[in-house]
Amino acid sequence: MATEGGGKEMNEIKTQFTTREGLYKLLPHSEYSRPNRVPFNSQGSNPVRVSFVNLNDQSGNGDRLCSNVGRELYFYIYKGVRKSPELRCEG
CA distance 74 to 53: 13
Quick: pLDDT tens for 37-68: 555 555 566 677 888 888 877 777 788 888 88
| Extended strands (E) in 1-91 | 16-19, 22-25, 48-54, 63-69, 72-77
Classify strands 48-54 and 63-69 as parallel, antiparallel or unpaired: antiparallel
pTM for this entry? 0.39
CA distance 78 to 62: 8
Domain map of the chain by residue range?
Answer: 16-37+48-77
CA distance 76 to 84: 19
